[in-house]
Chains A and B, each alone.
Chain A
Amino acid sequence: MSDTAEARPWSPSPLALERAAFRRAQRRRSGLVALVSTALVVTAVVLVVVGAPGWERARTAFFDPENAWAALPAILEGLWLNLRVWVIAGTVGTLLGLGLAILRTSRIPALFPVRALAIGYIDLFRGVPVLLVLYLVGFALPALRLEWLPTSSAFLGALAIVLTYTAYLAEVFRAGIESVHPSQVAAARSLGLSRAQSMRTVVLPQAVRNVTAPLANNLISLQKDSGLISVLGAVDAIRAAQIATTGTYNFTPYVVAGLLFFLVSFPLTRAVDAYQRRRGWGRSLATVTGGGDIR
């Protein structure tokens, strides 16, 4: 239907050239200012830290390469446990959370008791500190002496984390479901789709997209909280670092563990940022009308 007219040849007017030159100069100036201010800040921080009276002692206590190298294998082994707990608890928690959120919106009468339970569960576990849940699950469950229940501290720790994060993630998904405009549901239902069909094909895809940022936040936070299972005796990266520090009074292993945690979560945060930037469906924001920078 649309036949586009042949674009007329264009060479920039003197006005456009002059403006482009101004913008270039301004960019150069901004770059220079950023460079100078960064240099100033870095210099100030270095001066304060290095010039501190205890710097020499702090450096050997926290940044001792030899000590770091010695502790690294044990910490890496601990980190492997963290990663497993993170992936398993994250997956299970995400699926259960999504299930609970969908359950809350369902209207099937037979599910009423499950719905009521789900709401109570979410309210409860959002309000109780994760550390407390860890202690209760880690020490109270084995006391029941259920033979089929594994009693390894890693399992019980992961279970406690799943219990807490499922509640958080359910609320994230519920917010996502509620963020989809009712007119979308009306359009789906008007085509004859059932309640479940419109939830699955129309609401959920948009809901998940809308809550990518809080979802990733929770998963990153779960990755760090996976270290808390060490209170039950599981040797994760933090616990391994703690063991390495005893006797030597050198805290370098903690710094190593912190660095490793950061290295794991950093790519994820960046990936999510990049994903969020392409806000239009199926293309990057720069091509959307109004998606550019505003002067």
Chain B
Amino acid sequence: MTALLSLRGVRKTYPAPAAARSRVREQARVVLDDIDLDVDRHRCVVLIGASGSGKSTLLRVVNLLDEIDDGQILLDGQDVADPRLDANAVRARMGMVFQAYNLFPHMRVLDNVTLALRLVHRRPREEADAAAVEMLRRVGLAHKATAYPDQLSGGEQQRAAIARALVHGPELLLLDEVTSALDPELVGEVLDLLAELRGEGRTMLVATHEMGFARRVADEVCYLHDGQVHERGTPEQVLGDPQRERTRAFLSRLAS
């Protein structure tokens, strides 16, 4: 059986900043360097690594929010990096949750959650509302459905964003450091929700700084360094007994 998501030789560079371009011919920055990665159905792959190691970019290119320079992104065997494909339809099969929630401030929580159902999946309003309310109940926010995002705490906003990413039944869930903007006492409520989703067998690709969470939910942990998968394996291997010097150094920096 093919993996739900496979990355083959994915390479992504960002152009040198325009200001530097005039003076020194600066090289384009390589953010993803020949990445191979598989996420099987009902599995959870966790990406760890320092800021700038390429975790977020990897999630963005999978969600087709950024274009890759080379390689393949295979979703269910189909190369979705192909520019001939309808990117909107591909994105509609995934759900992405962002570090800063990115809720739409001018819409009530309910409308945030129903937007894609109504516009992309063409569901009638009542049906979309019912599905959204059900999803909000799942994340413990049914009582906030008519509130605006700025009336919610950070943890509530992130749970609303998770509901928004889940309501259309995505095949793949992409989570980009979803607890990094939260106060420590709010991190738990979001991580518990994610662990619950993991228990339901959702396919997830997660970038995180929470090693405890990685240990708890990951089937595979990938340590990214300078745009390369530097070490990968089960959480016990990579987090408990890292084989490579850089991984050890990264983990010990976190521990201290």
Do A and B make up one complex? yes
- Whether the pair A201, B151 counts as a contact (CB closer than 8 A) is no
CB distance from A216 to the nearest CB of B (A): 19
- Whether the pair B104, A187 counts as a contact (CB closer than 8 A) is yes
A residues 162-210 near B (Cβ < 8 Å) are 183-184, 186-194, 197, 201-202, 205-206, 209
CB distance from A196 to the nearest CB of B (A): 10
B residues 164-210 near A (Cβ < 8 Å) are 164-165, 168, 189
Chain B contacts of A281 at CB under 8 A? 105-106, 148-150
Residue in B63, B148, B150 whose CB lies within 8 Å of A190: B63
Given contacts A1-B140, A197-B119, A288-B150, contact A190 B106 (CB under 8 A): no
Chain B residues in the interface with A (C-beta under 8 A): 60, 63, 65, 88-89, 91-96, 98, 100, 102-106, 108, 115-116, 119-121, 140, 148-151, 164-165, 168, 189
Residue in B88, B95, B140 whose CB lies within 8 Å of A193: B88
- Whether the pair A192, B105 counts as a contact (CB closer than 8 A) is no
In the bound assembly, the distance between CA atoms of A280 and B88 in angstroms comes to 31
- Whether the pair B65, A193 counts as a contact (CB closer than 8 A) is no
Residue in A1, A186, A191, A202 whose CB lies within 8 Å of B120: A191
The A-B contact count (CB < 8 A) is 75
| A/B interface sample: 24 pairs, CB < 8 A | A183-B100, A186-B60, A186-B102, A187-B96, A187-B104, A190-B65, A190-B91, A190-B94, A190-B95, A190-B96, A191-B91, A191-B168, A192-B89, A193-B115, A193-B116, A193-B119, A194-B88, A197-B119, A197-B120, A202-B104, A280-B148, A280-B150, A281-B106, A282-B148
Judge whether A283 is part of the interface by a CB distance below 8 angstroms.
yes
In the bound assembly, the distance between CA atoms of A95 and B105 in angstroms comes to 24
- Whether the pair A186, B116 counts as a contact (CB closer than 8 A) is no
Chain A contacts of B116 at CB under 8 A? 191-193
Interface centre among A186, A187, A193, by most B CB within 10 Å? A187
Chain A contacts of B121 at CB under 8 A? 192
Chain B contacts of A187 at CB under 8 A? 96, 98, 102-104
Measured CB to CB, the nearest residue on chain B to A197 is B119
- Whether the pair A206, B106 counts as a contact (CB closer than 8 A) is yes
The 5 closest A-B pairs by CB, nearest first: A192-B92, A187-B102, A191-B116, A192-B120, A190-B96
Given contacts A193-B115, A206-B105, A281-B150, contact A186 B91 (CB under 8 A): no
Chain B contacts of A194 at CB under 8 A? 88
In the bound assembly, the distance between CA atoms of A206 and B116 in angstroms comes to 18
In the bound assembly, the distance between CA atoms of A186 and B151 in angstroms comes to 22
In the bound assembly, the distance between CA atoms of A209 and B100 in angstroms comes to 21
Interface centre among A184, A206, A281, by most B CB within 10 Å? A281
Chain A contacts of B115 at CB under 8 A? 188, 191, 193, 201
Chain B contacts of A209 at CB under 8 A? 106
- Whether the pair A184, B102 counts as a contact (CB closer than 8 A) is yes
Chain A contacts of B148 at CB under 8 A? 280-283
Measured CB to CB, the nearest residue on chain B to A205 is B106
CB distance from A79 to the nearest CB of B (A): 37
- Whether the pair A183, B102 counts as a contact (CB closer than 8 A) is yes
In the bound assembly, the distance between CA atoms of A191 and B164 in angstroms comes to 8
CB distance from A211 to the nearest CB of B (A): 14
- Whether the pair A183, B106 counts as a contact (CB closer than 8 A) is no
Interface centre among A1, A183, A191, by most B CB within 10 Å? A191
Given contacts A187-B104, A201-B119, A209-B106, contact A192 B150 (CB under 8 A): no
CB distance from B119 to the nearest CB of A (A): 5
Given contacts A192-B89, A192-B91, A192-B92, contact A183 B98 (CB under 8 A): yes
CB distance from B85 to the nearest CB of A (A): 13
Interface centre among A1, A197, A288, by most B CB within 10 Å? A1
Chain A contacts of B89 at CB under 8 A? 192
- Whether the pair A193, B120 counts as a contact (CB closer than 8 A) is yes
Chain B contacts of A283 at CB under 8 A? 148, 151
Chain B contacts of A206 at CB under 8 A? 104-106
